């Protein structure tokens, strides 16, 4: 299932080239048919495209809604304007510029490079702050932090008039101080398209996207979303800075309102209309919104009069259009026109369908050293409620251990405590003597404890193959000392091979559960913790699952801890069973021993009298 360089790099590069050619060629044709107003419009559209790609890298891949990017753009715009405008001209606006900035006279390209470095520094610290705030897809804290940045920069730009010229004068480029001609815009746009498109295929890009789809599932697969988010942020800041530099030079001036709320609205609408998750989608949005914006402006300018529509064709129509586009798409089609599809997806899928089927999964990992996962007297307390009370459970490699108990017994909570999803109040979780208690979920996963979820958690818009592939990516780096299962073989063993290009949101429950198992196994774990792997499956499916769990565990050489309600399943699949009731372990032993245990019969089947009656 390894992707060849054509699939990984050449096709995306071809897509980038095509998108660039269409955008630039279409723009040139449109401009050639009209006057200089069209020329300016096309230049603006191409610069906006660079800005929107900057947003796409971060927002599209991480799912974090940032309002601060136009704050970065404002800083960049001022930085370039202050450094590139020649001193004689600059003194007209900011004669008392501090730090000797009045005398700085750099070539626009050098000024842009300096601005990029400066903003990378600012962005790095902001990124640390975002990570500290627990940034994840859809979270509120990063949106607020970035919104605060936007307002802060705006306030500063208005008040530090010595440096910025404030709202009145602003800063204007002198003749010959700015880059001329569209060549620079073409170069920046081409590079931006290529970089954003290829980023989706890089390790950081793929891990960021997994984190966007489901943060907890990503962590449970050993992914720490913070580093890929930081990389995406820094990359997006480079693009935004370049875009902002081009925009102020194109417009010839800079004021506090250039990169504020209305430009945020414009660029965000562009990003979400076509599809924020894909580069093709982002660019499609740029074209659609630019066209719509121009059309509504033209109609509202009074150039045409349609009887009966006078109430609609008036100034402000284009703002209603922008807001309406954003709102309408969020309500009707939140992933935009394209979702996460790229230009050449058809070709990609056709090429991949010709892949040779993988070798069968072999029980080749039996040589792994024996290992033990222990939870000793673990207590988990929620407020005054003891969900798990001094429960001790032990699993050794090679065995399948069951965890049963009535609803609310604390089975899932115990599993969550072992994997660091909920904090352990007392007690310890150890792996071969190494303490795992209190470690973050992704570290526990990297240590070799993989899990599935009761209400399965997949990466909805990613194809099935990518679920297994990202886990394998993590294993490649963090499970080096172990034999790692072949991702294709895992898909094949789970009966998922044929459907490997389908997005996970389309699959049924049985497939979803097998996919979760495959994803967990791709981590080459020492232990697999399965939370109700047969719930929602048909009888035939759950029968097949017994064999599947056993053979998968044997192939990766993992011990298994499995929670299930299906007593038949548990007794068939398990070597040993722990019984949990009201947070305590009330019994453990072989399936026969446990079934004969009086307390178990009482807890599980009701009172002894009822059970025998």
Partner 1 sequence: MTQAVQNLVDGLGQGSIFALLALGLTLIFGVMHLLNFAHGELITVSSYVAYALASRGAGWETLALAIVATSVLTAVAIEFLAFRWVRGANEFTMLLTSFGVHFVVAALFLMYVSPRPLNIPKPGWIFQTVRIAGVALEVVDLATIAATALTLAATSWLLRKTLFGIALRAAAEDFDAARIMGVRSNRVIRGAFALSGVLAGVAGIFWLMRTGTAAPSAGLTPLLFGVIAAIVGGLGSLGGAVLGGLALGLTQVFLRAWLPPDLSGLTEGLIFVLIALLFILRPQGFVTVHRAERV
Identify each DSSP E strand in 217-267 by its residue range.
253-254
319 binds partner 1 (CB under 8 A): yes
Provide the terminal-to-terminal Cα distance of the chain, rounded to the nearest Å.
56
Alpha carbon distance 369, 362 (integer Å): 18
Cα–Cα distance for residue pair 134/505, rounded to 1 Å: 26
- Residue 142 CA to residue 245 CA, distance in Å, equals 25
Q: What's the per-residue H, E or C state across 362-413?
A: CCHHHHCCCCEEEEEEEEEEECCEEEEEEEEEEEECCCEEEEECCCCCCHHH
Residue identified by tokens 């150890």 is 430
553 lies in the site for partner 1, by CB under 8 A: no
Query: Smaller CB distance to partner 1: residue 130 or 449?
Result: 130
Structure tokens at 340: 């996460």
Looking up tokens 């960021």, which residue turns up?
Answer: 208
Tokens of 27: 């723009």
Question: Which CB, 396 or 565, lies closer to partner 1?
Answer: 565
Query: According to CB under 8 A, which one of 156, 204, 344, 386 is a site residue for partner 1?
Result: 156
Identify the DSSP state of 135. Answer: -
Residue 323 or 360: the one with the smaller Cβ distance to partner 1 is: 323
CB within 8 Å of 384: residues ≥ 6 apart: none
Structure tokens at 306: 């349609």
209 counts as binding partner 1 under rule CB under 8 A:
no
The reply to whether 309 sits near partner 1 by the rule CB under 8 A is no
Residue 412 near partner 1 by CB under 8 A: yes
Selected from 309, 320, 370, 611, the binder of partner 1 by CB under 8 A is 320
Which position has the token pair 């009707």? 332
The two structure tokens encoding residue 136: 């994840």
Half-sphere exposure of 101 (CA within 13 A, CB side): 20
In the bound state with partner 1, the residue whose beta carbon lies nearer, of 182 and 457, is 457
Q: What's the DSSP call for residue 390? A: E
Residue 548 C-beta: closest distance to partner 1, Å: 23
Residue 423 interacting with partner 1 (CB under 8 A):
no
Largest CA distance in the chain: 100
Residue 156 vs 344, nearer CB to partner 1 = 156
Task: List the one residue from 315, 476, 508, 547 that touches partner 1 (CB under 8 A).
Answer: 315
Q: Does 234 bind partner 1 (CB under 8 A)?
A: no
Q: In angstroms, rounded to a whole number, what is the distance separating the alpha carbons of residues 513 and 495?
A: 11
Select 93 or 453, whichever has its Cβ closest to partner 1.
453
Q: Which region, judged by CB under 8 A, interacts with partner 1, from 4-12, 149-157, 352-360, 516-524?
A: 149-157
Interface residue with partner 1, options 12, 27, 54, 63 (CB under 8 A): 63
Q: Which stretch binds partner 1 (CB under 8 A): 311-319, 350-358, 371-379, 425-433?
A: 311-319
Distance CA 526, CA 395 (A): 10
Per-residue x/- mask for partner 1, residues 262 to 301, rule CB under 8 A? Answer: ---x--x---x-----------------------------
134 binds partner 1 (CB under 8 A): yes
List helix spans (H) across 92-225.
Answer: 108-132, 140-159, 161-164, 183-199, 203-213, 215-220
| Residue 431: Cβ within 10 Å count | 18
Is residue 139 near partner 1 by the rule CB under 8 A? yes
Residue with the two structure tokens 């070597």: 575
Angle of CA points 47, 48, 51, to nearest 5°: 95
Q: Is 76 in the site for partner 1 (CB under 8 A)?
A: no
Contact range with partner 1 by CB under 8 A, out of 36-44, 148-156, 470-478, 532-540: 148-156
| 416 sits near partner 1 (criterion: CB under 8 A) | yes
Among 113, 141, 386, 499, binds partner 1 (CB under 8 A): 141
| Among 121, 187, 330, 370, contact with partner 1 (rule: CB under 8 A) | 330
Q: Smallest gap, in angstroms, from Cβ of residue 528 to partner 1?
A: 17
CB of 505 to partner 1, least distance (A): 12
User: For binding to partner 1 (CB under 8 A), which residues are involved?
Assistant: 63, 65, 129-130, 132-134, 137-145, 147-149, 151-152, 155-156, 159, 216, 261, 265, 268, 272, 314-317, 319-320, 322-324, 326-328, 330-332, 334, 382-383, 412, 416, 421, 453-455, 457
């Amino acid at each position: 299932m390894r992707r060849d360089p054509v699939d990984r790099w050449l096709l995306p590069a071809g897509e980038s080239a095509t998108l660039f050619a269409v955008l630039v060629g279409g723009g040139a044709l449109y401009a050639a048919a009209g006057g200089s107003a069209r020329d300016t419009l096309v230049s603006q559209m191409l610069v906006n495209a660079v800005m929107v790609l900057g947003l796409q890298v971060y927002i599209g891949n991480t799912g974090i809604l940032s309002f601060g990017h136009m704050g970065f753009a404002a800083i960049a715009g001022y930085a370039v304007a202050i450094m590139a405008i020649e001193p004689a001209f600059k003194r007209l606006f900011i004669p008392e510029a501090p730090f000797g900035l009045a005398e700085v006279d750099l070539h626009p390209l050098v000024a842009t490079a300096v601005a990029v470095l400066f903003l990378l520094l600012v962005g790095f610290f902001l990124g640390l702050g975002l990570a500290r705030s627990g940034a994840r897809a859809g979270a509120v804290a990063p949106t607020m932090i970035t919104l605060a940045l936007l307002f802060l920069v705006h306030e500063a730009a208005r008040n530090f008039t010595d440096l910025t010229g404030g709202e009145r004068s602003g800063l204007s480029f002198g003749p010959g101080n700015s880059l001329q001609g569209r060549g620079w815009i073409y170069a920046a746009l081409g590079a931006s398209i290529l970089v954003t498109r290829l980023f989706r295929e890089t390790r950081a890009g793929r891990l960021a996207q997994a984190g966007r789809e489901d943060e907890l599932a990503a962590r449970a697969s050993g992914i720490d979303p913070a580093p890929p988010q930081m990389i995406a942020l820094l990359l997006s800041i480079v693009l935004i800075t370049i875009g902002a530099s081009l925009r102020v030079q194109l417009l010839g001036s800079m004021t506090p309102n250039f990169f504020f709320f209305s430009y945020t609205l414009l660029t965000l609408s562009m990003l979400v209309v076509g599809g924020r998750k894909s580069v093709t989608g982002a660019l499609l949005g740029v074209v659609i919104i630019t066209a719509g914006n121009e059309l509504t402006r033209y109609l509202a300018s009074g150039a045409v009069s349609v009887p009966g529509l006078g109430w609609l064709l008036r100034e402000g129509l284009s703002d209603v259009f922008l807001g309406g586009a954003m709102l309408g798409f969020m309500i009707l089609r939140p992933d935009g026109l394209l979702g996460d599809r790229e230009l050449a997806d058809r070709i990609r899928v056709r090429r991949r369908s010709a892949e040779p089927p993988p070798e069968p999964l072999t029980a080749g990992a039996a040589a792994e050293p024996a290992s033990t996962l222990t939870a000793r007297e673990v207590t988990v307390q929620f407020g005054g409620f003891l969900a798990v009370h001094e429960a001790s459970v032990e699993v050794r490699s090679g065995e399948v251990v069951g965890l049963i108990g009535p609803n609310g017994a604390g089975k899932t909570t115990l599993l969550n405590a072992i994997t660091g999803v909920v904090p352990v109040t007392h007690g310890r979780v150890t792996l071969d003597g190494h303490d795992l208690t209190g470690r973050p979920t992704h570290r526990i996963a990297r240590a070799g404890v993989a899990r599935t979820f009761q209400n399965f958690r997949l990466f909805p818009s990613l194809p099935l193959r990518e679920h297994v592939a990202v886990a394998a990516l993590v294993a490649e780096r963090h499970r080096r000392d172990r034999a790692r299962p072949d991702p294709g073989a895992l898909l094949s063993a789970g009966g998922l091979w044929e459907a490997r290009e389908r997005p996970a949101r389309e699959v049924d429950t049985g497939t979803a559960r097998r996919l979760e198992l495959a994803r967990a196994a791709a981590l080459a774990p020492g232990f697999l913790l399965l939370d109700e792997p047969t719930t929602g499956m048909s009888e035939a499916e759950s029968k097949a699952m017994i064999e599947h769990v056993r053979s998968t565990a044997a192939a990766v050489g993992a011990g298994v801890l499995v929670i299930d309600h299906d007593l038949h399943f548990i007794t068939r699949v398990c070597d040993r069973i722990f019984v949990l009731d009201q947070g305590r372990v009330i019994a453990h032993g072989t399936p026969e021993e446990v079934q004969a245990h009086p307390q178990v019969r009482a807890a599980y089947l009701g009172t002894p009298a009822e059970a025998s009656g």
